[in-house]
Chain A
Amino acid sequence: MSRLSFWVPRPLFSLFLAVLWLFMVNSFSVAQVILGIGLGLLIPFSTHRFWPEKSSLRHPLPLLRYFLVLLWDIICSNLIVARRIIGRTEHLSPGFITYPVSLEDEFAITLLASTISLTPGTVTTHYDTQARTLLIHVLHIDNEQALIDQIRTRYEQPLQEIFQ
């Protein structure tokens, strides 16, 4: 490990933090820029040991498309869940499903789990590292296999392409 990568383990993340800080304080004075850069250097340096291995983001453009799809799905899922909440709750058949993950990258798995939590009536409850499965609670199960297939084609496969 070179000296530079010891002090600045994640240069892109440092830059991101500095920019985020400037937007958050909403001022671009020299003092804030210095403070932002300072935080951007300090936070990755003091926390990088807790983090999983660096993930390789190969294709940034599909990631943007993925987030747009996700945004649309969040809006749709809100409508679906809202209808189920207002409707008769006795007709709901909640349940747990086990979803086998084929992603390798830890960050990609985190993204997948978060996506599942944000979309139609599903919340990720547990990730089994040995069996490599996600335990998902579903508000209303119509067809278990269809739901698994939907998650696989709509979210997991794009993520697989992005993080290959």
Chain B
Amino acid sequence: MNTLPWLLELIIALFILIGALVALLGSIGLARLPDFYMRLHGPTKASTLGVGCTLIGSLLYFSFLTEGISVQEAIITLFLFVTAPASAHMMAKAALHRRVRCVDKTLNVPWKDQ
């Protein structure tokens, strides 16, 4: 088994730590934000960058440890970026259809002007 140079180890550790931190922030947002629509903002952004950073760390690690570049992580990132907006859109649409309650200060609530 090859050993990693310390600089690379540091970079990989940094990526994984940043990823974990961003994912944690997203979860805090999920817990703290007051209504459903605002909570939607957490998973679409924080999780894409959080998981993205973790995957870059994983990509670097496995690319150097084994022969050849590991591209599976890149594909996972691609899938994530394609599916995150779609799932957020479906949840938002369902909430809109059911007129899920939102905080009172929300501007231009679509079902209130009609």
Query: Taking beta carbons and an 8 Å cutoff, which residues of A are in contact with B?
Result: 20, 23-24, 26, 74-75, 77-78, 81-82, 85-86, 89, 92-98, 113-115, 117-118, 121, 123-126, 135, 137, 139, 141
> Which B39-80 residues have C-beta < 8 A from chain A?
40-42, 44-46, 48-49, 70-72, 75
Evaluate contact between B41 and A96: CB separation under 8 angstroms: no
Query: Taking beta carbons and an 8 Å cutoff, which residues of B are in contact with A?
Result: 22, 25-26, 28-29, 32-35, 37-38, 40-42, 44-46, 48-49, 70-72, 75, 81-82, 84-86, 88-89, 92-93, 95-96, 102-103, 105-110
Evaluate contact between B46 and A94: CB separation under 8 angstroms: no
Number of A-B contacts (CB under 8 A): 111
Chain A: minimal CB distance from B14 (Å): 15
* Given known A26-B71, A113-B85, A125-B93, contact A82–B22 (CB-CB < 8 A): yes
CA distance A45 to B40 in the complex (A): 35
Q: Which B residues are in CB contact (< 8 Å) with A20? A: 75
CA distance A92 to B102 in the complex (A): 13
CA distance A24 to B26 in the complex (A): 28
Which partner residue on chain A sits nearest B70 by CB separation?
A: A26
Chain B: minimal CB distance from A15 (Å): 16
CA distance A113 to B45 in the complex (A): 14
Evaluate contact between B29 and A85: CB separation under 8 angstroms: yes
